[in-house]
Amino acid sequence: MPERSTELAVQAVSASPSPAVALPRGRSIALPIEARIIILAICFRLLGATVGFIANVTIPDFQDQGFTVMERPNPFWDRFARWDSGHYHGIALKGYQFVEGGRSNLAFFPAYPQAMGVVGRALGGGQEDFYFAGILITWLSFAIALPLLYRLARLDLPHEAAMRAAVYAAVFPSAYFFGVVYSEALFLLTLVGAAMAFRTRHWMWAALAAAVMTATRVNGVMFLPALALIGWDAVGASWRDRRAALLAAAAGLVGIGSYSAFVYSISGNPFEWYDSITRWGYHPGGDPLAGLFTIYGQLLTRPYQFMVTQPMAPYDTLNALAATAALVLVPFIWQRFGRGYAAIVVMGLLLPLSSGQYEGLGRYCAVLFPLPILLGSLKGETRHLGLMTGFVLFYALGLVLFGNVYSKAKPYTLD
């Protein structure tokens, strides 16, 4: 049989009407896996933007946002700017403004909006340029974070499982935040980058990523102990490297510390950012499980009435389910990947769960990289098909709810 194939190949070449340079068979130009993941990330973002655009032109907005990307409403571009996007845009355009005793934009940490300001001015400085800058930073952060997550997963998993982890991170039900003018994508990049640097003993990169992380979101500081654990466990018995891991984690305080110093310079209180957060309805430090018990209590005692009469009930239920699932997976993460990864999930949810507000739990879960890594490590093709299908369905649902019909209402209490 091999001889027959060779004979046919020789005859085919001999019958060619003109001479040609023979190319090696079976060879192709293959892009590096990181490049392919970046292309996958960008294509997924484009697909999500298309779905969002279709939703915008077919489903009327539940309420006016009070701002638009362009001077006039645009059903495509306005999809990228919702809710907190307006605050990030205001900081990028005009900077921080302290409002004594009232709500101020000091509640929004600086790394993302300041980067928007720099890029927006480079693009021209128009109203839309700052929103375009936010989109660019978000998309680039996501496109870099995914291959970095793949490489982080490859430290523990084979190629196929690590690829699944990257896909799970992309299709996580609240991962649509990685495509809009929000700080989640940049936060994911810094958190995954810090974890990768701690795992591979690149202490300067670890310190830098941790500092940017704590300057990106208020809960960034909560991850520093978990990152220190990851570094401590990665170095074995070397006390020199253990000390380096602790110092790199401590260096993460530079981000939030620098912001606190700036806040002090304009308000006289280095923790005015915390007071500003409380004036937006968030009160960190409460019972982290009380909110979940409230929601599940309603679902158990009067589920139908709860879902149809409370405006926030569907959204809070979805967010509570995401947080609960993440907490349930903590023991499995600890067993499979160690206490550092388990601490990432616990510390990442502790602050938002204790705040008394549940609407952001889904997006807080989206950046917890041990979740997709654990899911990617599971066995069974059918299991992955079912999980990814479910993720995509809830992703689409969340995308529409967030962009079109999401409402903010007063919190409810048990009767």
Domain residue spans in the chain? 33-405
Nearest CA to 193 among 163, 167, 216?
216
pLDDT tens for the 415 residues of the chain, in order:
444 444 444 444 444 444 444 545 555 568 899 999 999 999 999 999 999 899 888 887 777 777 888 988 888 998 899 889 999 999 999 999 998 888 899 999 999 999 999 999 999 999 999 999 999 999 999 999 999 999 999 999 999 999 999 999 999 999 999 999 999 999 999 999 999 999 999 999 999 999 999 999 999 999 999 999 999 999 988 899 999 999 999 999 999 999 999 999 999 999 999 999 998 888 888 888 888 898 999 999 999 999 988 888 888 899 999 999 999 999 999 999 999 999 999 999 999 999 877 888 999 999 999 999 999 999 999 999 999 999 999 999 989 888 775 555 444 444 4
Q: What is the C-alpha to C-alpha distance for residues 21 and 55, in angstroms, rounded to an integer?
A: 52
Q: Which residue reads 């149809």 in tokens?
A: 308
Q: What is the C-alpha to C-alpha distance for residues 53 and 51, in angstroms, rounded to an integer?
A: 5
Looking at 155-200, list the stretches that DSSP marks H as alpha helix, in order from N- to C-terminal side. 159-171, 184-199
Alpha-carbon dihedral angle through residues 267, 90, 81, 373, given to the nearest 10 degrees: -40
HSE-CB for 125 with a 13 A CA cutoff: 2
Q: What is the C-alpha to C-alpha distance for residues 92 and 286, in angstroms, rounded to an integer?
A: 32
Axis-axis angle for helices 85-94, 111-123 (nearest 10): 60
Contact by Cβ (8 Å): 414, 90: no
Contact by Cβ (8 Å): 220, 230: no
